[in-house]
């Protein structure tokens, strides 16, 4: 590919005849060029996609359906009592964590991308690693650690909860921001500088706006995670809407009232997604052919030391201290032989976790690719199917679990499976539920990376006579390959940390690491939770390393 043509278009208004620009009007033209999204006109593909979207959305719709018979009584009582507080807590947590993760993720990403300082390379990796620590683990570690200095009363605050969530979730924004900054060409900054911008002005007026779609994508994931969290909030006595769904459901057995709250949650998620689209704007930022990367400014003396300190400080706070605490507990558990509450040893739990995470990830990946390849989101039906397929990510895990339970149990009652075979409590049933919950992560990741492939590249290939299939298989998917691997790793980490769905739907003989953590923490036996927590973090770290390798490797292939 020719770097001169594409680079020149970086800031020059796009040639009206051919959309090669970094900023184009997005809509119609891109879909006219992209091979992906065009091939699904054949009916087998359409059928497969429609079937997937329906299968994945049914469990959520089953729950939502309950509100056809609204339980106004409970609803009125909720309005009069807890609901205002739930909305306030949810809004406070959501806004605080969103602002926190965007500021933290973006500035750390800019720091390791634009500046050279001691430890920069290793920090670029280490700053992603908080992703490997589940919020509920970081939560109980901090709760126990800060209890003494802060006091039991002030440690249980929404602000500390927001801090814990910010620290575990900022890597989503960091990853996207870092990838966006790395893809940017120095030329854009140079042009801005030549027009009189200072370096920091160039960041605010060029680099940051160009990274905006990626930041919005990362922030949207963070928003979903915060909205649906039910593990971390309860540790800190924060009463969110998601927590309220479970409170109403399990406290009163009133599924309708719980469903109404769940629909409120879906409503907020829809607003959040709309805001993300708005933040992306009509602009589409595509990769240009040559990615020279930004010129890195070498920091010296005090500034270099300060940059290092910020990076290492963050890592210490988010990963090193909790790890230290977990290791101390693990040693104590070993010394005092406190391992008796679970069945099966560490190896057994690790294998269970790996098996579930691997199969769920591959399933999400396959279906995600199918959807991205087949859906034409410009069409109303395509957008609807995409929304259906990603519905499960907007409701808390336990709600998905019950929805899947009800759906599969109804299928089991029809007796269409051979005698003695049941979907509820089967491995297939568990994987299905995890796909319902996490397909959105795979789909979003794949879709955004495919969307970034420059239309000009595709147009060139088409001009040279390549068919649509050839373009998709030889150009679009390889170019988006790194993004696809990254999306898979995110799904893998999500499924590895997943608790509520696995707890309700796991088959006999499958006991994952988070189940072990739950067994111990539900009895406040923090010491006994250390070993499985460490195992989750270790596997998560390996996955994070794979993620970064994929991103680096992807960058090399493309340039």
Partner 1 sequence: MSRKHPRYLLGSLLVGALIISACGSDDTADDSADDSPGTSADGPDEASGMITVYTGRHYGIEPVFDEFTTDTGIEVRFTTGNDPELRERLIAEGANTPADVVMTADAANVELSAEAGVLASVDSDVLTETIPEELRSEDDEWFALSQRARVIIASTERVENPPTTYAAVGDPEWDGKLCLRPSTHPYTQSLVASLIIAEGEAGATEIVQSWVDNDPLYINSDTDIYKAVADGECDIAIANTYYLGRLLAEDPDFPVGIVWPEQDGRGAHVNVSTAAVTANAPNPDGALALIEWLATDGQKQFADANYEYPADPSVEPTEIVAGFGEFTADLAAVRQLGANQPAAVAVLSATGYE
Spatial CA neighbour of 56 closest among 325, 414, 541, 394? 394
CB of 146 to partner 1, least distance (A): 13
Instruction: Single out the residue of 60, 132, 273, 405 in contact with partner 1 (rule: CB under 8 A).
Output: 405
- 134 neighbors 514 (Cβ within 8 angstroms): yes
Instruction: Single out the residue of 72, 107, 381, 524 in contact with partner 1 (rule: CB under 8 A).
Output: 524
Specify the stretch interacting with partner 1 by CB under 8 A; choose among 39-47, 233-241, 267-275, 366-374: 233-241
Comparing CB distances to partner 1, the nearer of 271 and 331 is: 331
CB of 157 to partner 1, least distance (A): 12
87 lies in the binding site for partner 1 (CB under 8 A): no
Specify the stretch interacting with partner 1 by CB under 8 A; choose among 22-30, 128-136, 318-326, 506-514: 506-514
409 lies in the binding site for partner 1 (CB under 8 A): yes
The 8-class DSSP code of residue 393 comes to: G
Specify the stretch interacting with partner 1 by CB under 8 A; choose among 16-24, 113-121, 267-275, 507-515: 507-515
519 lies in the binding site for partner 1 (CB under 8 A): yes
Interacting residues of 112 by C-beta distance below 8 A, sequence separation 6+: 120, 123, 124, 127, 178, 311
348 lies in the binding site for partner 1 (CB under 8 A): yes
247 lies in the binding site for partner 1 (CB under 8 A): yes
The crossing angle, in degrees rounded to 10, of helices 477-497 and 513-521 is: 30
What are φ and ψ of residue 23, in 5° steps? -115, 115
264 lies in the binding site for partner 1 (CB under 8 A): no
Mapping DSSP to helix (H, G, I), strand (E, B) and coil, where does residue 473 land? helix
CB of 451 to partner 1, least distance (A): 33
424 lies in the binding site for partner 1 (CB under 8 A): yes
Specify the stretch interacting with partner 1 by CB under 8 A; choose among 18-26, 75-83, 110-118, 445-453: 75-83
Comparing CB distances to partner 1, the nearer of 411 and 555 is: 411
CB of 90 to partner 1, least distance (A): 16
Instruction: Single out the residue of 327, 358, 366, 542 in contact with partner 1 (rule: CB under 8 A).
Output: 358
Instruction: Single out the residue of 1, 310, 406, 545 in contact with partner 1 (rule: CB under 8 A).
Output: 406
Length of the chain: 559
Tell me the C-alpha distance between 174 and 295, whole Å.
19
Spatial CA neighbour of 388 closest among 81, 35, 10, 49? 49
107 lies in the binding site for partner 1 (CB under 8 A): no
CB of 210 to partner 1, least distance (A): 43
333 lies in the binding site for partner 1 (CB under 8 A): no
Task: Tell me the HSE value of 219 on the side-chain side, using a 13 A CA sphere.
Answer: 28
CB of 427 to partner 1, least distance (A): 4
72 lies in the binding site for partner 1 (CB under 8 A): no
76 lies in the binding site for partner 1 (CB under 8 A): no
Tell me the C-alpha distance between 19 and 21, whole Å.
6
CA-to-CA dists, residue 539 to 129, 243, 267, 349, 521, angstroms: 11, 28, 35, 12, 20
Residues in contact with partner 1, counted by CB under 8 A, come to a total of 64
Comparing CB distances to partner 1, the nearer of 37 and 397 is: 397
Reported as type and span, the H/E element at residue 23 is: strand 23-24
- 500 neighbors 398 (Cβ within 8 angstroms): yes
254 lies in the binding site for partner 1 (CB under 8 A): yes
Tell me the C-alpha distance between 240 and 257, whole Å.
15
Comparing CB distances to partner 1, the nearer of 406 and 545 is: 406
Instruction: Single out the residue of 5, 77, 187, 212 in contact with partner 1 (rule: CB under 8 A).
Output: 77
Tell me the C-alpha distance between 439 and 544, whole Å.
19
Comparing CB distances to partner 1, the nearer of 241 and 389 is: 241
Instruction: Single out the residue of 39, 156, 212, 462 in contact with partner 1 (rule: CB under 8 A).
Output: 156
Residue 241 has which token pair?
């809407």
Tell me the C-alpha distance between 491 and 493, whole Å.
5
Torsion of CA 351, 352, 356, 362, to 10 degrees: 10
- 197 neighbors 206 (Cβ within 8 angstroms): yes
102 lies in the binding site for partner 1 (CB under 8 A): no
Q: By 3-state DSSP, what share of the chain in percent is helix, strand and coil, each rounded to 5?
A: 75, 0, 20
CB-based burial, 198-220: b 16+ in 10 Å, e otherwise = eeeebbeebbbebbbbbbbbbbb
Chain centroid to Cα 432, Å, comes to 19
Mapping DSSP to helix (H, G, I), strand (E, B) and coil, where does residue 26 land? coil
Instruction: Single out the residue of 420, 464, 465, 556 in contact with partner 1 (rule: CB under 8 A).
Output: 420
Instruction: Single out the residue of 47, 81, 292, 381 in contact with partner 1 (rule: CB under 8 A).
Output: 81
Interacting residues of 35 by C-beta distance below 8 A, sequence separation 6+: 458, 462, 468, 469, 471, 472, 476
Instruction: Single out the residue of 119, 281, 481, 507 in contact with partner 1 (rule: CB under 8 A).
Output: 507
CB of 495 to partner 1, least distance (A): 14
Torsion of CA 398, 399, 400, 406, to 10 degrees: 110
Per-residue contact string for residues 435-474; x = within reach of partner 1 by CB under 8 A: ----------------------------------------
Q: Which of residues 190-209 bind partner 1 (CB under 8 A)?
A: none
The 8-class DSSP code of residue 392 comes to: G
CB of 524 to partner 1, least distance (A): 4
Comparing CB distances to partner 1, the nearer of 215 and 230 is: 230
Tell me the C-alpha distance between 411 and 467, whole Å.
42
β-pair type (284-285, 23-24): antiparallel
Instruction: Single out the residue of 41, 335, 380, 413 in contact with partner 1 (rule: CB under 8 A).
Output: 413
346 lies in the binding site for partner 1 (CB under 8 A): no
Binding site for partner 1 (CB under 8 A): 77-78, 80-82, 148, 151-153, 156, 234-235, 237, 239, 243, 246-247, 249-254, 340-344, 348, 351, 355, 358-359, 398, 401-402, 405-406, 409, 412-413, 420-422, 424-429, 503-504, 506-511, 515, 519, 522-525
């Amino acid at each position: 590919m020719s770097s001169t043509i594409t680079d020149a278009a970086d800031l020059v208004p796009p040639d009206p005849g051919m959309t090669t620009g970094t900023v184009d009007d997005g809509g119609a033209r891109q879909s006219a060029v992209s091979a992906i999204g065009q091939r699904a006109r054949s009916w087998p593909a359409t059928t497969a996609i429609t079937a997937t979207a329906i299968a994945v959305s049914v469990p959520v719709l089953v729950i939502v359906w309950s509100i056809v018979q609204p339980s106004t009584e409970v609803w009125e009582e909720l309005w009069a009592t807890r609901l205002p507080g739930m909305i306030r807590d949810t809004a406070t947590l959501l806004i605080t964590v969103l602002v926190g993760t965007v500021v933290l993720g973006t500035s750390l990403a800019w720091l390791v991308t634009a500046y050279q300082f001691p430890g920069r390379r290793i920090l670029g990796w280490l700053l992603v690693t908080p992703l490997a620590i589940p919020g509920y683990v970081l939560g109980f570690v901090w709760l126990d650690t800060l209890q003494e200095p802060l006091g039991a009363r002030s440690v249980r605050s929404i602000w500390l909860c927001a801090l814990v969530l910010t620290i575990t979730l900022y890597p989503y924004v960091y990853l996207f921001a870092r990838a966006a900054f790395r893809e940017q060409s120095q030329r854009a900054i140079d042009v801005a500088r030549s027009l009189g911008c200072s370096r920091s002005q160039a960041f605010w007026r060029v680099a940051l706006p160009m990274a905006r779609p990626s930041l919005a994508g990362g922030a949207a994931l963070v928003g979903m995670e915060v909205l649906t969290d039910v593990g971390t909030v309860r540790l800190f006595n924060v009463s969110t809407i998601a927590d309220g769904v479970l409170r109403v459901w399990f406290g009163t057995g009133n599924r309708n009232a719980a469903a109404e709250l769940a629909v409120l949650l879906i409503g907020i998620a829809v607003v959040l997604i709309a805001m993300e689209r708005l933040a992306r704007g009509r602009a589409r930022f595509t990769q240009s052919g040559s990615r020279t990367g930004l010129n890195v400014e070498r920091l010296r003396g005090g500034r270099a030391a300060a940059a290092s300190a910020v990076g290492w400080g963050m890592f210490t706070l988010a990963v090193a201290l909790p790890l230290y605490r977990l290791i101390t507990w693990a040693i104590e558990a070993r010394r005092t032989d406190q391992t008796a509450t679970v069945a099966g040893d560490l190896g057994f739990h690790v294998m269970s976790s790996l098996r579930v995470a691997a199969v769920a990830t591959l399933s999400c990946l396959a279906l995600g690719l199918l959807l991205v390849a087949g859906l034409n989101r410009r069409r109303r039906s395509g957008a609807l199917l995409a929304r259906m397929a990603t519905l499960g990510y907007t409701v808390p895990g336990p709600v998905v679990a019950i929805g899947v339970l009800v759906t599969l149990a109804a299928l089991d009652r029809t007796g269409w499976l051979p005698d003695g075979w049941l979907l509820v409590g089967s491995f297939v049933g568990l994987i299905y539920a995890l796909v319902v919950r996490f397909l959105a992560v795979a789909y979003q990741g794949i879709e955004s990376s495919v969307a970034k492939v420059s239309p000009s590249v595709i147009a060139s290939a088409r001009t040279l006579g390549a068919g649509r299939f050839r373009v998709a298989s030889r150009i679009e998917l390889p170019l988006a390959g790194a993004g696809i691997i990254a999306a898979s790793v995110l799904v893998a980490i999500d499924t590895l940390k997943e608790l509520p769905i696995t707890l309700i739907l796991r088959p006999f003989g499958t006991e994952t690491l988070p189940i072990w953590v739950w067994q111990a923490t539900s009895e406040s036996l923090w010491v006994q939770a250390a070993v499985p927590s460490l195992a989750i973090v270790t596997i998560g770290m390996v996955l994070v390393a794979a993620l970064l390798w994929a991103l680096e490797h992807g960058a090399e292939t493309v340039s």
